[in-house]
Chain A
Amino acid sequence: MDVRSQISMVFHLDKCIGCHTCSIACKNIWTDRKGTEYMWWNNVETKPGTGYPTKWEDQSKYKGGWELKDGALRLRSTSKSKIVFNIFHSPSMPSMDDYYEPWTYDYGELFNAPEGGDQPTAKPISMVTGKYLEIEAGPNWDDDLGGSRIYAANDPNLEGMNEEQKAQLSAVERLVMFYFPRICNHCLNPSCVAACPSGSLYKRGEDGIVLNDQKRCRAWRACIAACPYKKMFYNWQTGKSEKCILCYPRLETGQAPACFHSCVGRIRYLGVLLYDAERIEEVAKRPDEELIEAHRSIVLDPFDPAVLSQAAANGIHDSVIEAAQKSPVYKFVKQWKLALPPHIEFRTLPMLFYVPPMSPVMAQKHGDVISHTSDDLFHDIDQARIPMQYLAKLFGAGHEAKVRYALRKQKAVRIYRRWLTVGDIDEATADRMLREADTTRDEAEAIYRLTSLCPFEDRFVIPPMYREEAIEMMQDPLEAKQTTGFGFMEGPARGL
């Protein structure tokens, strides 16, 4: 057992209102520089939809992630032998048109336009070329199902559904959507790192954050195709790849990442998970249907004495263990089994988990009466407007059982609370539902509290990172004494 700690995340999709506040918080801090305008390290997608970059989930197009071939894990996009030939041109890399060409507006026109019969308009200008631009697409062009005949209809997750099911998704008065906010998953088996020819991408040992060493990146671009979530971005100005850094400068000072901090719906949870690094490869090789359970099993119990002694031997600080014991992520992922990894079939073992969303039930019309009830208390889980099959594609590697379990438990918690607060459901029904959903009153209460009444300190349990001590071990703190500033700093200037 090789115990390591990882800052992990849960996004509670049932609470996401799709306001994009997270995206804006991130953009304002990190990607408002030249060359990064098109990047959205955090973006919010409407599902069903094709997402950003367009159809990122379609790995027949982008060749992201790992595949299992003859019992071995292989990157879909590259390998030690392929890179020799593909280093000049990365064959499956998306181009800017697959994202969008970023633009601003010629606001001066509003003031300088000569007097005339029409209102002056601010024409869009490309932020790459500075020329006028005909806008054809943007990063959230399909927001709230806009243009769904082009976008939602081409969602890769609809694959395998019949025409009737697809038609139902977009039928008037039945159509449905939910939001899918995405950042880098800071995976346990990151394909971007494994693909990087320069060795500039790395996972931090102490907290599992995946970063790109800007000084070692040489723009070979292998990471961009290799990441199945398309969360590696190429800065066309500096000639370096960039990615979500989980706001590590904020984490190191005890603050939640900007997207977490600003989340209006309070959908985001952040905490430590302890995991067994020895088992990563074995887990990533399991067949699709076993992946979720295996991924959960790699997460270790922070109360188990065997785990604790091994963690101490590995140099994990007591304060990190304490944070792991209080971790909201541990509760959602391991104890309650409510949160599921996105597209685990890409086999990168993402450490960002999603609580699948509930959706309105499909109404049944009996004569003139529209009815929403049936004898089966959980009927609306399988008759919900979002087909279970669709959610299973996203969060279950195509298998419905784990998704159904998470939704049934959420439903049971709702009914239990309804019995307590509204009172139109009897106690016996509430208890029966809790039992059938494999939960208890105590657990339901805890789920309810962490879901609905969660202040900052419950949602974000950030361990002290002791970076200053860590750095002191590597460098003499007196090294830069009496020099200007703190040693040598170099601006990110583009080469000639």
Chain B
Amino acid sequence: MTSLANYLDTVLFSVFPYVAMVLFLVGTIHRYRNETFTYSSLSSQLLENKQHFWAVVPFHYGIITVLTGHAVAFLVPRQLLLFNSRPLRLYILEVSALIFGVTTLVALFALIARRFTDPRVRVVTSKADWILYAMLVTLVFSGVYVAVFYRWGSAWFAASASPYLWSLLKLSPNIAIISAMPLAVKLHIVNAWLVIAFFPFTRLVHILVVPNQYLFRKRQVVRWYRRPQLSRS
């Protein structure tokens, strides 16, 4: 391996992740504190209501499931490997993961098509949206490509990507395994860090404000100015 490639790997896999994480943290917190108003899902359902359903719903179900899969492999790699020790379980896991991945990809193209074709939705599409779409397409496409051509990702992710990510968290990046990975995998990883770095500057911030408190709160909300101590609904 040339020294240039070595150098590039170090920059992309052990330096850039920290840049991305710092950008993510500083960016989202700063935006939440100083530009609270801009935290919004920026829905365009009012402008176009039909394609919206067929694009937005499968995309969200798809990407949430796939991301959950990544999180599980990251958090409990041992248990995942144990689960995969029976081939049947591995096949079921891989096939369903692939289905959700492909759903995400198809729905992502549907989202882009909707943005392109509906004149009203196009008006509310920003430059950041187009950049984000380009990143997401690369990310999801490379992910599906890896899943198809480098089989049993759920097994080797737990054994290679998971230790890599943990080594980053422990502030002693170990990129030996990543350096040996095929180009498509590398592209997928770099793109993931890119999305995380770009996150605070896009509409993705709506993920951070999903309204989980709704599930626990009382139905009616009353705000008092004169008697804060008595406030109740």
Contacts and interface: CB of A to CB of B under 8 A. Distances in A.
Contact of A202 (B37, B48, B124, B221): B221
B201 A496 contact: yes
Contacts of A493: 35, 37-38
Nearest to A35: B124
Interface residues of B, number: 55
Nearest to A73: B219
Interface in A254-274: none
Interface string B152-170: 0000000000000000000
Contacts of B205: 495
Given A194-B220, A220-B211, A490-B37, A206 B45 contact: no
A171 interface: no
Contacts of B39: 215, 218, 495
B211 A95 contact: no
Most chain-A CB neighbours within 10 Å: which of B36, B45, B203? B45
Contact of A496 (B128, B209, B213): B128
Interface in B158-209: 201-203, 205-206, 209
B149 interface: no
A197 interface: yes
B215 A80 contact: yes
B203 A93 contact: no
Interface stretch (B74-82, B85-93, B223-231): B223-231
Contacts of B57: 88-89
A96 B219 CA distance: 28
Q: What secondary structure prevails in chain A residues at the interface with B?
A: loop
A238 interface: yes
Interface in A223-275: 224, 234, 236-240
A128 B228 CA distance: 42
Interface stretch (A178-186, A387-395, A429-437, A465-473): A465-473
B141 to A, nearest CB: 22
A134 to B, nearest CB: 13
A202 B217 CA distance: 13
Interface string B95-129: 00000000000000000000000011011101111
Given A95-B47, A189-B220, A199 B40 contact: no
A197 B211 contact: yes
Interface string A384-410: 000000000000000000000000000
A215 B48 contact: no
A422 interface: no
A374 interface: no
A496 B222 contact: no
A189 B124 CA distance: 34
A473 B226 contact: yes
Interface in A83-112: 83, 87-90, 93-97, 101
Contacts of A469: 226
Most chain-A CB neighbours within 10 Å: which of B47, B48, B215? B47
A60 B189 CA distance: 48
A203 interface: yes
A214 interface: yes
Given A80-B215, A88-B57, A218-B211, A93 B36 contact: no
B42 interface: yes
B228 to A, nearest CB: 7
Nearest to A75: B219
A315 interface: yes
Nearest to B217: A199
A88 B214 contact: no
B226 A206 contact: yes
B44 interface: yes
A219 B41 contact: yes
Contact of A467 (B36, B38, B45, B225): B225
Nearest to A194: B219
A467 B224 CA distance: 11
A469 B225 CA distance: 9
B53 interface: yes
Nearest to B50: A95
B56 interface: yes
A448 to B, nearest CB: 38
Nearest to A83: B214
B203 A198 contact: no
B46 A96 contact: yes
Nearest to A200: B221
B206 A128 contact: no
B6 interface: no
A88 B223 CA distance: 28
A494 interface: yes
A76 B48 CA distance: 23
A197 B212 CA distance: 8
Contacts of B202: 496
Given A494-B38, A496-B202, A203 B120 contact: no
B214 A129 contact: no
Given A220-B211, A495-B40, A203 B53 contact: no
A88 B49 CA distance: 12
A495 B38 contact: yes
A94 B60 CA distance: 22
Nearest to A197: B211
Interface in B27-69: 34-49, 52-53, 56-57, 60-61
A470 B225 contact: yes
A198 B211 contact: yes
A190 interface: yes
A198 B214 contact: yes
Contact of A96 (B34, B47, B211, B217): B47
Contacts of B126: 496
Nearest to A91: B53
Contacts of A101: 120
Contacts of B224: 204-206
A131 B119 contact: yes
Contact of A218 (B120, B209, B221, B225): B209
Most chain-A CB neighbours within 10 Å: which of B38, B203, B228, B231? B38
Given A87-B210, A205-B223, 6 more contacts: A93-B46, A96-B120, A201-B221, A239-B41, A239-B43, A473-B228
26 contacts: A83-B214, A88-B56, A89-B52, A96-B46, A101-B120, A128-B123, A189-B220, A199-B213, A202-B221, A205-B227, A206-B225, A219-B42, A221-B45, A239-B40, A239-B41, A239-B42, A469-B226, A470-B226, A473-B226, A474-B225, A474-B228, A490-B34, A495-B39, A495-B205, A496-B127, A496-B203
6 closest A-B pairs by CB: A495-B38, A197-B211, A95-B49, A205-B224, A239-B40, A496-B128
